[in-house]
Amino acid sequence: MPDYKDIGLKVGLELHQQLDTRRKLFCHCPPVIRDDAPDGTFVRRLRPTQSEMGEVDPAALFEFKKKKLFCYEYYSDTTCLVEADEEPPHEMCEDAIDICLTMATFLDAKPVDEIHPMRKIVIDGSNTSGFQRTAVIAMDGHMVVNTTRIGIQTICLEEDAARKMSEDDRQNMRVYRLDRLGIPLIEIATAPDITSPEAAQQVAFQIGYLLRSTGRVKRGLGTIRQDINVSIRNGAVTEIKGLQELGMLARVVELEALRQLRLLEIRDELQRRDVTASSLTEDIHDVTDVFVNSKSKVIRRTTAAGGVVLALRLPGFAGLVGRELQPGRRFGTELADYARFWGGVSGLFHTDELPKYGISEDEVLQLREAVRASPDDAVIIVAAPYERAKAALKAVADRARVALCGVPAETRTPLPDGGSKYARPRPGAERMYPETDVRPVVVTAERLERIRRMMPETLEAKQARFVRDYGLSEELASKLVRSVHWDEFEEIVSKTGASPTLVASTLLDTLVSLHRDNVPTERLAQDHLVDLFIAISRGTVDPKAIVPILSHLAENPTGTVDDAVNELGLRRIDMSEVSARVAEIVRERVAFVLEHREHALSGLMGVAMKELRGRVDGKVVRDLIAREIETILSDEGPVSE
């Protein structure tokens, strides 16, 4: 790994977290995600608009050129005309503003005097209006992570986008669902003060902990997303957008820094080879005839459908197109991303990897002759309909020229292994303009004072309190406050008087273990847990019965703890009954005891616990069995094991 200080690594984060409010940001619909069939659909086409200065955002213009149709799925009872952009937005959600002001207080940021929503042009279909509403709530804050001061540039409040459901390439249509559109979303943007991948992940987790300290954020996959801005010295700011797994953040930063380093190495090599922008012309050749008898399935399928094979010569790029930038991704992969994005093709071939994929060595020689390529040149070929192939190679030529400068400023999409791929150009300032349909909100001194008086406990303070007041270990308390169960834990302990450690370990370990065993724990209600721990506190249920009882209730969620105890036969029994039954079990197996003196205890424990498990403590049963065996073998001494 490189020395990140030496390469001048800088990282800034933008964390987006859904807020747990009763309504959406600009309407009064409930912020719920649904999986049932929608009630209806409508179709739209979106167009870019000019900024106040008459300029058009390049990213928006590109999306418009795709000429996509957008189909929107709606629900009659949980989405409304605001989401459909058929009705003006309502006033901003006051609860969402308060949560953002709470985070501003945590981060020592300065609230604005008036909140003015802005429109941010987005015409990828994720917003029916063609823009996303966003508002600055506070600025110029900071946090300290491992003694390093990290600036907080802005805290914003914005509406979440619609959910992408599917893509229909034949109709050039993308399908979105409106249930998520409008859910309040806080965006916290740090300054580029982060200088290592590990520090980036730590900052993200720390902000996440503060957000959860409010007790007013949604949980689960898709409720939090990170945009990561990465640059190195002589590189360019690259935005990696939409990472959902915080645990992958360090790896994403690490691989982006590596990618930029490798691109700078390619730039330096091109300069040594005296490659110039003027030599990288868009001299595109039709080389279909070279591949008339090709064994390449891709080429044969394309030409059979009336497509062509076009080629582009890249002077001086031999050996560089195949150079690895990230694990499993080469410079040629970057070129292919551009070809797919701008030309709509499935991919490309290049001479650094040929002969391969059914393309023979003889075809490669003929290809080089057809485009007059020297040994120092790389040749790119695309098999597709003519116009798409031409657009793809034009994009490749443009990207190759950028390689002479090093690293392009662009937006990228994270990949599962931590790498990334080209997504679109970086948006410009032209995408923002004022929102005229929503009245500004004055942030009063009284409101800020109320926020300060009602500040929630931080996770660190909560962890210390759990250790102090409930006697939890540091490790268990740390796991608990960072889980979804910390408020549930306190309620159960206060209502039942059960052992805090037993309650915490059940919530953190037992439920997870059951879920891994495919028990539908999501069907368990809090009342199930409360009633279970009341029964344990009263002594009517043994703690060892927790697993079978919870398993039964998960499969039968309308039942009660009493139902589960009775059906499973787990109700604790009187000690006189236990003693009598244990004595009976041992007396029925006197021959076994006499024959297996040294191992009789363990053998009889299995028999007894099969009947008594969950109804009496195992140690009690063991002591009773040992006493009965000693009585039988009293003439020969006690049994040892």
Would residue 438 count as lying in a domain?
no
Is this prediction's pTM over 0.85?
no
Is 111 found in the same domain as 229?
yes
At 476 the three-state DSSP class reads helix
Would residue 188 count as lying in a domain?
yes
| Residue that wins the pLDDT comparison between 191 and 63 | 191
Is 563 found in the same domain as 498?
yes
The number of domains in the chain is: 4
> For residues 522 and 488, is the Cβ–Cβ distance under 8 A?
no
- Tell me the CA end-to-end span of the chain in Å, nearest whole number: 55
Q: How far apart are CA 121 and CA 168, in angstroms?
A: 24
Is 365 found in the same domain as 336?
yes
What separation in angstroms does the CA of 374 have from each of 368, 371, 379, 635? 8, 9, 10, 101
| Residue that wins the pLDDT comparison between 236 and 575 | 236
Q: How far apart are CA 470 and CA 505, in angstroms?
A: 13
**Which of 102, 19, 96 shows the shortest CA–CA distance to 454?**
102
**Span 492-545, pLDDT tens digits:** 999 999 999 999 999 999 999 998 999 999 888 889 999 999 988 887 788 888
At 530 the three-state DSSP class reads helix
Q: What is the DSSP string of 263-323?
A: HHHHHHHHHHTT--GGG----EEE-GGGGTT---HHHHHHHHTT-EEEEEEETT-TTTTT-
Domain boundary among 568, 601, 626: 568
Domain ranges, residue 296: 276-403
**Span 380-416, pLDDT tens digits:** 999 999 999 999 999 999 999 999 999 999 999 999 9
Is 596 found in the same domain as 527?
no
Q: How far apart are CA 494 and CA 51, in angstroms?
A: 57
Q: How far apart are CA 193 and CA 153, in angstroms?
A: 11
Domain boundary among 362, 377, 403: 403
> For residues 158 and 115, is the Cβ–Cβ distance under 8 A?
no
Would you call 308 exposed, middle or buried from its count of C-beta atoms within 10 A (0-12, 13-18, 19+)? Answer: buried
Is 205 found in the same domain as 97?
yes
Residue 163 has pLDDT above 70, yes or no: yes
**Token pair 């942030």 in the structure block, residue:** 443
Is 564 found in the same domain as 583?
no
Is 360 found in the same domain as 301?
yes
Indicate the average pLDDT of the chain: 90
Is 358 found in the same domain as 252?
no
**Span 539-577, pLDDT tens digits:** 778 888 899 999 999 999 999 988 888 888 776 665 666
Is 225 found in the same domain as 102?
yes
Would residue 399 count as lying in a domain?
yes
**Which of 598, 619, 615, 394 shows the shortest CA–CA distance to 629?**
598
Domain boundary among 568, 585, 601: 568
Amino acid at 396: V
